[in-house]
Structure formats: structure tokens, C-alpha cells
Structure 1
């Protein structure tokens, strides 16, 4: 396999770090795009390079000479920042001549602008990338990530309270995705001679709320129950860790559809990549807080 130089946004974050790890394991050279190369600590095998999403010139410099870029936008919800960041990425890709991009949406697949800056930034990138680079792939989870269950706002409730509190209906089968499987899928797209324009990553099991709780209980060796929470409670859980603006934006993504609104279509099975990590295996590996 030919090795490439790959720029990775969000390389020190929960979603970017597994991407870096899998790219390095495959023999690629990785540039970790960060705002403060001296302070940030990406994987020691990666080269930290300055890149500010509000500064197209810095992005152009970071991208120049690279074979591919993995784009992951941060949790930004303000109109003044979200869409301009996507525009800066597009401008820098055009200037630098990068041939291949994998764009990880970080959440539900969005292809249409709806007037919400966080959503519109992702829709802009997803729709405009094919006209800017020769090879572009949009990656999205089938629904949500296992790591949300071990995040600071939820891990203590699971480990100490024996409760998975999540804003999804208990009866909904969810193909929970491990971020390590997402990272492996992104690295595979970088190496692929003909990557698809869209890849949806799903976990190997579609579990209802009670089934998900039972898998975690088996891993922890003690009872765990599922509790569906509403958007308001989800926002209150997130706010101390993400801040009020990001908490409101993330929680809003789980809001139920208005009455009569059509459900989004299920992805074509041909674009789905199924990871290998089960929820129980993942839970057994987590450093759950002591009860």
C-alpha cells in the first residue's frame, strides 16, 4: 500500500485521535492540524502543524503538500463562526490542491442547509467538496457513538447509579458505533483506490435501550437500566461540560420530529460499513469511575 501524508483536523479529540492512530498504524504520515502545536499533544507519531479554522491562509499552509485531509468540524453553533469555518476549509483545499478528502460529519448525515449554522456548515462541506477535490467521501455514524455512554456527563450515572440516561426511545434499535471502528473506517477510505462518495458506519448490533443496558450490565457485572430522557434533561446534563451553547445545540439534535414530519430515509445498505466492536466488548474496556 502506498503511504500518504494526511492532515487530520481534531486530531487530539475523541473522534480524531482514533483516526490518527489507525493512519499511523497503516504507515501514513500524519499532520495533526491544531491551533497551538506547542501546547497540544497529538499522538507522538504525528507532526503537529498550526491550523486555525477561522484563518484560510493557515489552513492552506497546513494542507500544502499533503495527499489527503480528514476534516472534522468542532462543536460550534454561532452563525458568526460555523459556516465561515466550512468556507475556509473549502477555500484552503482549493488553493492547496489536495486531491482527497474524507469529511466526518461527527453526527447525523446532513446534506441540506436549514438555517441552523451548525447543520449548515456540515451541509455546505458535504455538498461542495466534490467540486473542490478530485476524491471526496462523507462519513457519518448510522446513529450515535458508544463513547457518549462513557462521557463525563453519563459515565458516573452508569457506573454508580446503574442507569443509562439517553434521549432516544427505549424501543428504538440503535447500531451503536465505537469511535475506534469509525477511525478504522476513515483510515480505510484514505487507502482505498476508489472510495465511495458516502460511507455510513454502523455497529455490529442494533440494540433497543433495554438490550443496550443489559450489555453494559454484563460488562460491569452489576445491574444497569435504561431511562429515556427528554431534550431538556439532556441539555442540563451536557451544559456543565460543554457550555450552554454547545449543550443546547447537541441536545437539539435529539429532538423528536414534529407531528406529521416524514422520517429521514434509511441509508442505502450499499454505503453501510459495519464495525466489529460490540457494545459489551467496548464497555469492558472503559475506565469507568469507581462507585
Structure 2
């Protein structure tokens, strides 16, 4: 795809783990980046990015932050109050409309269902994904095919991995194309710079791995045996709660809850919407400072 001369990109969530990867990808592609923050971000924002203050519930504040931008990368926080989550989503859409933003890329951080499911942070993302094409001239939703490698090195997972166990709420025999966040950042930068980006881009890791294969790759990278432990969403909630809080932990765990028996499986994505990242799990794991990931979130 031919590139457009995009120069200034606004990034929501720029101080978070996913947002930081998006910022790195955009900067590497030569864009100027402004990160939306509610207060002084201190050292959490990339030193080459400029902070811009905005209130996620105030469309006027958001429109001011978007002023002069060529593109906005939308990433919503993990909010589990139904009213607040939807109000934030609506404010972002209104801000984009008020500022006359021409291009936006929405990273919902996970595949988005086609309709609300009753989980507030999911339903807010459904709203943005649905309305964004009617709000800006060029809109793209970019999602991982399933989940991120960084979840394996999160504060609730890293100590267990170092001890020889991956505890995760997915079956051991389920092939999952684990994605590195830096590959997501590269994909977002490509979409921001594309002359005609697609409305949907799904980013997959280079190889689909079962749980046991994930454990084997981690074993090779860490030089010690690691086994896969398929846990329940309820057990995962208990793992997350000390780090994210009870409400956020329950919301994340709910996203891993299997649908009721008899629910038709979702259709396979159109291959034309899928792009593949370059980072292999073993290579990614070798680059991690596993001891540093033990620190509280």
C-alpha cells in the first residue's frame, strides 16, 4: 500500500503497555506522537512523545487534544462500570466528530463481537467499532487474532513462569497465534500511513501454538522446564485481582468464559483481513527480564 504523509498522531493509552508499543511503532515509522493523558505522565510516556491533557468524559477537551492531528489511535481503558464505559466511548466519538478528525485506528485490545454481550468494557468497544466508520473519514479496527505474549510476562504470570508453570484460562490443545505487542505497534503504524487502509485488520503471531507448545518454547528460552496449566476463568480472576483490583479482574476473566453449550462458533476471519507479525514466542521470551516482571503492576 502506498503511504500517506501523516505526521502527527494522537495516541490514547500511550502510557500503558499496549499504548507504549503503539507509540514505539509510530515513532519508528517517523511520525510525531502526542499521547493523551489526564495528568503529568512523568516517565511513563516515551521521551520522544508529547503529552496532551484531555478528559475522557469531555468531548470538548478531547476535540482540543485532537486539534491539528492527522490521525488518532483510540484505545479505551479497562472500565467495568456500564455507564462510565459507554460514556467514555461516546465522548471519544463526539470528540473525533467535533474536531473533524479524518482518520482513526481503533485498537480494542481483543477481538470485538458483533453485538453487545453485557460486559461493559466489551460493549463500549462494540460501540466504538460500530460507530467509528460513521464518525471519521477513514476508520480501521485493528485487533489481535487472539491474545498477547505479554500476558505471559505480566506481574500475575511471570513468577509462575519462572517457577515452571504457565497458568492460563485456555485449553492445552487449543492452537493460539500469540502476538507480540511490538508487532501490533508496527501494524498500527502501517495502517496510519497507508493510503487506503482496510476497515478491519487482524494481527496474528507467526505461528499458532497449543498450550503445551507454548510451554516448550518458554522452556527453551528460559533453560528450565515449564508446563502448561489450563485453569478456569474463576482461577484466573483470583490471579489478577491483587494486581488489577476485584472489578477489573472479574471483567477480564469474563472475557475468557466459554459461551453456553450449543452456541455456534464464530466464523473464521476473511484471510484478506489477517496480517502476520514477525516475532516468534521463543525469541520474545529470551528478550524478557523475567525477574523485573515480578514487580507489582
- Superposition TM-score tier, normalisation by shorter sequence: over 0.9
Q: Give the gaps of 5 or more residues in structure 1.
A: none
Could you tell me how far apart the structure 1 residues matched to 2:72 and 2:169 are?
33
**2:49 aligned partner:** 46
**1:67 aligned partner:** 70
Q: Is the 8 A contact 1:111 1:124 kept in 2?
A: no
Q: Is the 8 A contact 1:110 1:122 kept in 2?
A: no
Q: 1:95 aligns with which of 95, 98, 109?
A: 98
Trace 1:1-291 onto structure 2 (pairs within 5 A): 2-37=5-40, 39=42, 41-159=44-162, 161-289=163-291
User: Which segment is superposed worse, 114-123 or 150-159?
Assistant: 114-123
Could you tell me how far apart the structure 2 residues matched to 1:138 and 1:66 are?
19
Q: What TM-score, normalized to structure 1?
A: 0.97
Look up the SS of the partner of 1:204 in the other structure: coil
Q: What TM-score, normalized to structure 2?
A: 0.95
- Aligned-residue RMSD, C-alpha: 1.3
Q: Is the 8 A contact 2:35 2:45 kept in 1?
A: yes
How far 1:38 moved relative to its partner? 5.4
Could you tell me how far apart the structure 2 residues matched to 1:227 and 1:116 are?
26
Runs of 4+ in structure 1 deviating by more than 4 angstroms, as ranges, are: none
Q: Residues 14-52 of structure 1: CA distance to partner in whole angstroms, max 9, x if unpaired? A: 100011111112111111001013546311111100022
Could you tell me how far apart the structure 1 residues matched to 2:118 and 2:170 are?
24
Could you tell me how far apart the structure 2 residues matched to 1:121 and 1:250 are?
14
Q: Is the 8 A contact 2:200 2:273 kept in 1?
A: yes
Q: Residues 71-95 of structure 1: CA distance to partner in whole angstroms, max 9, x if unpaired? A: 0001101012100011000100000
Look up the SS of the partner of 2:83 in the other structure: coil
Aligned length: 290
Could you tell me how far apart the structure 1 residues matched to 2:141 and 2:83 are?
24
Q: Is the 8 A contact 2:6 2:71 kept in 1?
A: no
How far 1:116 moved relative to its partner? 2.6
User: Which segment is superposed worse, 144-153 or 111-120?
Assistant: 111-120
Q: Is the 8 A contact 1:23 1:187 kept in 2?
A: yes
Q: Give the gaps of 5 or more residues in structure 2.
A: none
